[in-house]
Amino acid sequence: MTNIEIKARYEDAERAEENLNALGAGMAGTFHQKDTYFKVEQGRLKLRELGTDEGHLIFYLREDLAGPKRSDYEIAKTEDPEALRAILTKIHGTWIEVKKTRQVWLWENVRIHLDDVKGLGQFVEIEAVTEEKGIEESHQRVETLMRALEITSEQLVEGSYGDIVAAGI
């Protein structure tokens, strides 16, 4: 699957909610997530634990650019994330762990994540799924949401939360 996405530092979650409501976006829920990144030679591999009996193994390839960028990814679900984490740790080794509370909003083919990341602060991620609307239109929707959420180029982040944690920024 393919997304067009951005990540940005965003300290005013209340303002983001106001802007998202004004656009007609709907809140899908709030989730506590633990992402364990594994050492891999290409791309990124992480296990997202959503609970003791629910997890998603996510592999993705994405350039580390600050603006809207393409992300190609695959997801496999598991009912035993703890066992899967143990196996992957033995095979690949653990690189970094990230814990966050994520509020998910939906607008057309776009997922908006308002994230409170432990030790890093607040962020917004915008992910437009291209299968539904195509790459160009998805790119335009990400830019529309960036304007609506008043995201400046100075707020944009290049890498993953794992990269930020590892860099100690």
In the predicted structure, residue 36 carries a pLDDT above the cut 80: yes
What would the pLDDT profile of 91-132 be if each residue is shown by its tens digit?
999 999 999 999 999 999 999 999 999 999 999 999 999 987
Place of tokens 């990540």: 7
Look at residue 61 in the predicted model and tell me its pLDDT.
97
Number of domains the chain is built from: 1
3-state secondary structure 66-125: CCCEEEEEEEEEECCHHHHHHHHHHHHCEEEEEEEEEEEEEECCEEEEEEEECCCEEEEE
Range of the domain at 109: 2-167
Which CATH number belongs to the domain containing residue 71 in this structure?
2.40.320.10
Compute the average pLDDT of residues 44-66.
96
The Cα–Cα gap between 73 and 35 comes to 15
Look at residue 131 in the predicted model and tell me its pLDDT.
87
Compute the average pLDDT of residues 159-169.
89
Compute the average pLDDT of residues 70-76.
97
Compute the average pLDDT of residues 48-74.
95
